[in-house]
Amino acid sequence: MRENEFERNVQEQMEELRIRPSDETWERVEKELREKKKRRAVVLFFIMAGLLLLGYSGYTFLTNSSNQPVAQNEIKKSSTLTTQPSVNTSTTTTNIPVTTNNNSAVAETPGTTPNTNQPDQNRNANPSLKQETVKGNPISPEQANQEKNRHLPVIVNPGKLERVAIVKENAADRKQIKNAGIVQKENNPVISNSDETAIVNKPLDQTVKSPVQQPVEKKDDIISNGIASTTISNNKEQMAADSAIVIDSTVAKTDVNKTAAPATEEPKPAIAKNMNKSKIKFGVEVSGGFISSQDKVFGFNGTNEAKSLMDFQSSYGGVNTPGTGTNAPRITPPSPVKGGNFWKIGLVAEKPITKRSSLSAGLRYTYADESLQVGAITNTVVYSNSYSFAPNFFTASGVRNAFSSSTAAQSAASRTPVKYTNRYNFIEIPMLFQTQLNKGKKMGVLWNAGIAPGFLIGTNALVYDTASRGVYYKNDNAFTKFHFNMQTGFALQFGNNKKIQWSLGPTLSLDMSRLMKEDVFTDKRYFLYTGFTGRVFLNSRKK
């Protein structure tokens, strides 16, 4: 009893103990409270921004996919053509069809001074130069049909043309080219459009002879068709995650506290909790979904694929020379690129930093693809208008364009465009901050945000070029190697108390880096990944 008396006396004395804190203490408390409010506001802002981003991207993605056919129709409409007798002024080509766009409301004046190929040479030499006037001649209905499918390129030659090989052209070929009127310079090779026409006319004649047998993917046939006159080589090269109020549950048991004790807010032992917090979890992350490209980083409106044909041609040349009746070669615009799928797989390590938030980092592989339609493979040696080397060329739908005669166009129309898939392979290092939004222990609602620097390890993607009236070719160096992604998402987490913990939810990732180093003939493109991410973690011990 006496022992208890001492303790009771001490307790009573201590209950009376009151010390007035300095005014500074409250000021410091107030300051910290304000800072926490700010932090909370920032977190809330990011959550809201993430939600909006996710919602908006989902909306735009759905809208874009439903609008795509409409955009194509618009192009078709804009390229509706009227027929008018064509005039031939070229020495090597005859009956080149001339185009007039109804929308442009510009009528061609036949019979004016014939324009030579000089301006086109200039255009090819300096693609940035734009032609001010856009005029064209009406063409025949067959060509009109072709124009409708103009943005659907046709394949050509999967083989790789190497520049070295170009130099090794045999004399006979050279002669042939010269005869066709090609002006080719060794140091700065530029081919005039008319000359190109001449070059391509050759195979055209062959194609005309056997229009039905145009096996789009069989290069042997193409070679046998005589296109090989300028063929150099056909190398088959395939490209590929405290201070927890340590309000210990061991309730302070002063007399007063005993009456106040029952609260469920009583905390659990701090020591045990801290041990759990410091554990690093390892797991696997898998995600997949749709990829789309946009012309602005935060555009979310896709690329401006519905650019009018005439606008394009007026920018890069290739429209008919006004009032001359001259049939200057037209440039086929790039084919619209249709977003494809992506999937990512990788290892991830997660370290809890507070009760409900964690940091994670990992390493993952990302595959993404998109598709476009190209024309037939051409074996023509064409020099890029933007890059100093163009080892492999795929003509855009303009293969037909390249051919000047109407009969050729007819035969080209029978060709079916080939779907080409651009494949991209990345290695990424995702670093994410993750926080649980709810207080639930069984199922957590998580929000995460972070960055994912990446490296493009390989791609077989095609690059568009206005050379030879529109070609596609492979060029790894044209693509940005280092990419910087911003990522956010939500997830539902299950199995917190079980050995296997997993989470699944929507993710949105935005590539802040341009896809191509230099977008000369096409709009800038940035990848937008929309999909789902799943994570599986192995808890080292059961609670």
Partner 1 sequence: MLRYLLNRDKRFKKKDLKGGFAALFLFKPAATILLNKLSRQYQDLMDDQKLVRDCLKGKLQAQRELYERYSEKMLGVCYRYTRSMRDAEDVLQEGFVKVFHHLGQYKQEGELGAWIRRIMVNTALNFLKRHRKYQEEMFFTEEYLHPVTNDDPIVRIQAKELADLIRQLPQGYQVIFNLHAVEGYTHVEIGEMLGISDGTSRSQYARARNLLITWIEKHSSTNKQERYAGK
111 CB-side CA count, 13 A: 0
Select from 263, 347, 443, 492 the one that contacts partner 1 (CB under 8 A): 263
State which of residues 70, 171, 240, 271 lies at the interface with partner 1 (CB under 8 A): 271
Q: Least distance (Å) from partner 1 to the CB of residue 273?
A: 12
Q: Quick one: 15 or 237, whose CB is closer to partner 1?
A: 15
In the complex, least distance from residue 45 CB atom to partner 1, rounded to whole angstroms: 17
C-beta closer to partner 1: residue 12 or 217: 12
CB-based contact 454:372 (threshold 8 Å): no
Site string for partner 1, 196-215 (x = CB under 8 A): --------------------
Please state the closest distance from residue 490 (CB atom) to partner 1, in A.
23
Q: Which of 164, 261, 347, 538 binds partner 1 (CB under 8 A)?
A: 261
Instruction: Give the number of other Cβ atoms within 10 Å of residue 505's Cβ.
Output: 19
User: According to the binding rule CB under 8 A, does residue 269 interact with partner 1?
Assistant: yes
* 278 scored as a contact of partner 1 (CB under 8 A): no
Q: What is the H or E stretch that residue 474 is in?
A: strand 471-474
- Burial profile 117-136: b = 16 or more Cβ within 10 angstroms, e = fewer: bebbbebbeebeeebeebbb
CB of 248 to partner 1, least distance (A): 6
Instruction: CB nearer to partner 1: give 174 or 258.
Output: 258
| Separation CA 479–CA 473 (nearest Å) | 12
Distance CA 323, CA 309 (A): 20
3-state secondary structure of 34: helix
The whole-angstrom separation of Cα 79 and Cα 69 is 15
In the chain, the largest separation of any two C-alpha atoms, in whole Å, equals: 126
Q: Which is nearer to partner 1, 62 or 260 (CB)?
A: 260
DSSP state of 489: E
Find the part of the chain contacting partner 1 (CB under 8 A) among 3-11, 137-145, 155-163, 403-411: 3-11
Site track for partner 1 across 11-50, x = CB under 8 A: x-xx-xxxxxxx-xxx-xxx-xx--xx-------------
Distances (CA, A) of 183 to 118, 195, 377: 11, 7, 23
DSSP notation for 42-84? HHHHHHHHHHHHHHHHHHHHHHHHHHHHHHHHHHHHHT-B---
What mask of x and - would describe binding to partner 1 in positions 240 to 259, judged by CB under 8 A? ---x-xxxx-xxxxxxxxxx
- For partner 1, give the closer residue by CB, 9 or 210: 9
Q: Which one of 66, 170, 238, 264 is in contact with partner 1 (CB under 8 A)?
A: 264
- Residue (24 or 132) nearer to partner 1, CB: 24
Contact set for partner 1, span 394-453 (CB under 8 A): none
Do residues 98 and 136 lie in contact, with contact meaning Cβ atoms separated by under 8 Å?
Answer: yes
- Name the residue nearer to partner 1 (CB basis): 251 or 286: 251
Q: Is 17 or 70 the residue whose CB approaches partner 1 more closely?
A: 17
Shortest Å distance, C-beta 253 to partner 1: 3
Among residues 174, 190, 234, 186, the alpha carbon closest in space to that of 379 is found at: 234
- Binding test (CB under 8 A) with partner 1, winner from 69, 132, 262, 541: 262
- Distance, CA of 6 to CA of 543 (rounded, Å): 42
Shorter beta-carbon distance to partner 1: residue 34 or 209: 34
Residue 347 contacts partner 1 per CB under 8 A = no
> Rounded to the nearest 10 degrees, how much is the dihedral formed by the CA atoms of 401, 403, 405, 406?
-50
- Contacting partner 1 (CB under 8 A), which of 236, 265, 442, 543? 265
Alpha-carbon Rg of the chain, whole angstroms? 34
Which whole-number Å values give the CA distances from 480 to 121, 335, 456, 512, 524, in the listed order? 30, 21, 7, 11, 12
- Whether the Cβ atoms of residue 362 and residue 442 lie closer than 8 Å to each other: no
Give me the least distance between CB of 494 and partner 1, in Å please: 25
CB of 351 to partner 1, least distance (A): 20
Size of the site for partner 1 (CB under 8 A): 53
> Which chain residues interact with partner 1 by CB under 8 A?
2-3, 5-7, 9-11, 13-14, 16-22, 24-26, 28-30, 32-33, 36-37, 243, 245-248, 250-267, 269-271
